[in-house]
Amino acid sequence: MTRSSLPLFDADLLRPAVVDAFAKLDPRVQWRNPVMFVVYVGSLFTSALWLQALAGHGEAPAWFIGAVTLWLGFTVLFANFAEALAEGRARAQAASLRGMKKTVVAKKLAEPRSGAPWTQVPGESLRRGDVVLVEAGDLLPCDGEVIEGVAAVDESAITGESAPVIRESGGDFSAVTGGTKVLSDWIVVRCTADPGESFLDRMIGLVEGAKRRKTPNEIALTILLVALTLVFLLVTVTLLPFSIYAVNANHAGVPVTLTVLIALLVCLIPTTIGGLLSAIGVAGMGRMLLANVVATSGRAIEAAGDVDVLLLDKTGTITLGNRQASAFLPAPGVSVAELADAARLASLADETPEGRSIVTLARQEGSAHEPAADPAASFVAFSAQTRMSGVDLPDRLIRKGAADALKRWILETDSAWPEAVVRHVEAVARRGSTPLVVAERTSLEAGSPARVLGVVELKDIVKSGIKERFAQLRRMGIRTVMITGDNRLTAAAIAAEAGVDDFLAEATPENKLALIRQTQAEGRLVAMTGDGTNDAPALAQADVAVAMHSGTQAAKEAGNMVDLDSNPTKLIEVVEIGKQMLMTRGALTTFSIANDIAKYFAIIPAAFVATYPQLGALNLMHLASPDSAILSAVIFNALIIVALIPLALKGVRYRALGAAVLLRRNLLIYGLGGIVAPFVGIKLIDMLLRLMGWT
């Protein structure tokens, strides 16, 4: 699910943006953008010079000074408008989220258990650690963890998905979000956030432009722009005494005026990128939210654009994730029906798609027993430590799980590990499927003999188009690593089919963390996804960590992004959005600098032709007059900001290109375009001014 995009120039957004543009004329606000602050101060100086001209003591015609002042003011207003429009779009998104917040009456329990007495309290009064009962039809009053019970929850208010999700105590699906609705049954929830600190509150705060902090790259670019502005300021200040000296020395010509010098300064400094820089950052966070991903900061989005390595889970990301039992491969001396029956008994309590598929296939293979559990059966749940599950029956123990885990279980009793089973496991793994070994002990005594019954083949399917996506990432210089709990043979087969660059087999939380640290030690930025508590250490270590909304609270707190769709594949889209923001900033910076270079040919000859008539040879555009040239350059400098607002908000088109190719492309399109555009634009404005009789 993705949220619907707002139109770029929606009437409901334009009016407040215009008002905010004027409100941002407050010097305390303008000071935050040093480049535009220089333009702001320049417009104040020219305003004073205009008033002086009206009094009959002007250094230039009043209409000229007034026109320069007006367009300098427009330059500031247009930059303010770009930022205000981006912030307005973010506030509109925040408003839609704020509409989800409802006043909730909570059933606060006296003790952290079901059946305990409860009292009704306002949801706003709940604190971290409080325990509440939530029944069918109730809204969840706080973010929290389910500590008892199981219920179907409607999370469409947050995720946009209408299908209910199951939330239960324990495991990776215990986290619940305040404002969502319980549809059936009941749950006991321990609150994990204080009022104002809920997931919804954080979403609202983060998408509002006013709450955005500048990213490191944005700060670095701002410092560069300030440095360029200071250089041009010093250059411009020194031009006045040089002009006066030249006129006095030659006894001819007219010194350059303050109005012209201010206009020159504004056209020299990087006002285009300076006016759009903040809007680019705000829009980047907005685009991330449109993808149903909430970033904790602009820093996280920026880091996504710089990512070198992607760590991707195999199941659900690279493959469809719904592994299905496809074949029973019995050991020597064991029939298919005997293996199928044992696998079925071990899977009766397994509600995973894999477990249910084993039961279904066993029926098809003629399992002798009805699919019902023995009342005396004791089921053994799967764990990451044992990597096995099974059932304890009165007359035997049955286990199924990873080959290496079952081998240890078998060898503990000094029983045989058949070579035929080894060959089955290797053959299944080479096909890219997952082998599950089934074994049994016919005696409940410790150390009693065991025997291997055979192998169950679980097939998984690589997602359509995923190989092409990985090829695109490779062209961009991004290395992909598949993370899986499968053995190395299975992992290698899936990795080859999917087209990933590398893989980590038999993955544990410890070696995931070790892999991230090793990769970062090589100077690379790492991105990964996760949803469980065991993923939290790796998520906290990764540079870009996308936690699934359906996951645990620990995972969401460790990540710097939350995917509301809980789609592991979203990591690729997150990287693309991050790169798009960096590409947009780079493209507009290139355009701005090239744009300034072109403007030199318009305004410098016009500014000093009265002092140095020889500069008239540089009037390549054949502009009507010096006043027209200066005014045309100032007008173009203001209008180009407006023209680039849609590009700043939407971002440049994302292309899966390497850094070198991307640089050449930006230089060709935005560099060359930045040089050509002023020549065309300034000439057209000059012609228009001539037609209007202003020159």
In this structure, the strands spanning 502-504 and 165-168 are unpaired
DSSP 619-683: -TT--S-HHHHHHHHHHHHHHHHHHHHHHHHH-SPP----HHHHHHHHIIIIIHHHHHHHHHHHH
3-state class of 514 per DSSP? helix
- Would you call 313 a catalytic residue per the annotation? yes
CA separation for the pair 71, 631 (Å, rounded): 8
Sort residue 321 into left (φ over 0), alpha (ψ -120 to 50) or beta: left
CA atoms within 13 A on the CB side of 330: 13
Whether the Cβ atoms of residue 415 and residue 450 lie closer than 8 Å to each other: yes
Q: Which residue has the tokens 């009959």?
A: 56
Task: For residue 274, report the phi and psi dihedrals to the nearest 5 degrees.
Answer: -60, -35
Separation of alpha carbons 556 and 416, rounded Å: 46
Q: Exposed, middle or buried: residue 668 (CB in 10 Å: 0-12, 13-18, 19+)?
A: exposed
Instruction: Sort 308 into a burial class: Cβ within 10 Å, 0-12 / 13-18 / 19+.
Output: middle
Give me the residues paired with residue 462 across strands.
319
Distance from chain centroid for Cα 100: 22
User: Among all chains, which residue has been given the structure tokens 């997150």?
Assistant: 574
Alpha-carbon distances of 148 from 91, 115, 190, 531, rounded to whole Å: 38, 11, 9, 20
Classify residue 107 by burial, with Cβ atoms within 10 Å: 0-12, 13-18, 19+.
middle
Helix (H, G, I), strand (E, B) or coil at 454: strand
Active-site option among 313, 486, 531, 543: 313
* Residues belonging to the active site: 313
